[in-house]
Amino acid sequence: MNKKTKIELLQDDNPTWKNAEVKSATAFSNLPASLQSKLRGRPKQATTKEPIKIRLDADVLCALRASGDGWQTRINDTLRASLQLAGRLA
């Protein structure tokens, strides 16, 4: 999408609700719990990952990205295995 968005496009994508639509709408809290959980997005994990910034050699980064989807997870797994071998991680 262009950085300069035309207001007409936004109005077409998100039209103003009519009174009948507002009256017939259901509050999120009134939806069944099973549906609420599906609409909330990704479930929270027990352990979360922390975003960081790291500088890598261009050829290393290129090779990692070329390995396909999940390359960041594979980096994490490789670092974890390396730390476990060194005895720095349980």
Tell me, what's the pLDDT at 10?
A: 65
pTM over 0.85: no
Tens of pLDDT, residues 39-59? 888 777 888 889 999 999 999
Separation CA 83–CA 7 (nearest Å): 52
pLDDT classification of 37: cutoffs 50, 70, 90: confident
Domain ranges of the chain: 7-85
Separation CA 82–CA 59 (nearest Å): 21
- Strands (E) across the chain are located at none
Tens of pLDDT, residues 3-20? 656 666 666 677 788 999
Tell me, what's the pLDDT at 49?
A: 87
Does residue 90 carry a pLDDT above 90?
Answer: no
